[in-house]
Amino acid sequence: MSGYINGIDVSHYQGTIDWHKVAASGVTFAYAKASEGVNTNDAQITANLTGMAKAGVMRGAYHFYTVGKDPEQQAQHFMRNVTLAPGDLPPMVDIETEAANAESNSGLIDDLHRFIGILSDTYGKAPFIYTGPSFWNAHMNDSFADCPLWVAEYGVSEPKPVTGWGYWSIWQYSRTGSVPGVSGDVDLDYFNGTLDQLKKFVLT
């Protein structure tokens, strides 16, 4: 779609990726899964970040947030498992599912603020929040607007509004995309702006 910057996000499910082919296909930025919860690592994080850098793809890493697990332990686990440098994009936290009876909405909101505060203090930039409109609007509130929004919704011309934001920064518009250099399906994303605007997010 014109007016947007193309990106992808990946994990170990995509296996070994040829990042030079990805870059040549027109992908400008990419995020790779680094960690999940308090003790799960993604086996491909180092290979993916190294490959992105060598291919000239703007790179970032994300943590899959586990509801009900200690937010400080989750933040420390992410930071132990990934090294981000100046010029990299800020971290992203993926929060999209509610563990049954794990905690109240107010507890979840407080815990996510604690997690985000640690990453913001460490990297000097607020992390992206990745979520779906249905989950977020049912469980969260409007107190996270300092973080850029990464919204996931498929089969629509525009994603639904998400409580707390007037616009989205990144939209994951497909989870069944095809990109040269990646075997099988891959998540496809748009950045809502120009390349210069995307570069304003990078770590310093």
Q: Report the SS3 class of residue 124.
A: coil
Q: Report the SS3 class of residue 88.
A: coil
CA atoms of 32 and 128, how far apart (whole Å) = 13
Which one-letter amino acid corresponds to residue 160?
A: K
Name the β-bridge partners of 63: 35, 93
- For residues 125 and 132, the answer to whether their CB atoms sit within 8 Å is no
- Out of 36, 94, 111, 187, pick the active-site residue: 94
- Out of 96, 103, 110, 153, pick the active-site residue: 96
| Three-point CA angle 177, 180, 184, nearest 5° | 50
Catalytic residue status for 94: yes
- For residues 46 and 75, the answer to whether their CB atoms sit within 8 Å is no
Catalytic residue annotation: 9, 94, 96
